[in-house]
Amino acid sequence: MMKWRHKMKRWMTNQLDLPADVTMDLPRITMIGQIHIYIENHRGLLSFTDQEIRLLLKQGQLLVKGSSFVIKTILPEEILLEGKIDQVIYLDKV
């Protein structure tokens, strides 16, 4: 059943020319250099330090590593992080 839904969503995305992040519940990540990262469509904040942030996604987690992190904006499905970003890692199965 899940495979069929996934295939149907992918077909709709291709046929209707819709952005994949909308139809597939994927995160939208916007970075400005190494100093800002804006993440939309996450499912919640799991952990935060000044060197690491971990967000829950529909499938898996997103890990951002760096230094001097400060959360500038946090909303239910959006977050704006400032600091020096070294790595953005998608964790498929946790």
CATH numbers and ranges of domains, the chain? 25-91 (2.60.40.2000)
39: exposed, middle or buried (Cβ count in 10 Å: 0-12, 13-18, 19+): buried
Distance from C-alpha of 62 to C-alpha of 82, rounded to nearest angstrom: 16
Model confidence, pTM: 0.76
Identify which of 91, 82, 83 has the alpha carbon closest to the alpha carbon of residue 58: 91
* pLDDT tens, position by position, 74-89: 999 999 999 999 999 9
What confidence tier does 65 reach under pLDDT thresholds 50, 70, 90? very high
pLDDT tens per residue, range 33-44: 999 999 999 999
Sign of the CA dihedral with 67 first, then 83, 66, and 26 last: positive
Query: Phi first, then psi: what are they for 57, rounded to 5°?
Result: -115, 170
Cβ–Cβ under 8 Å, residues 39 and 48: no
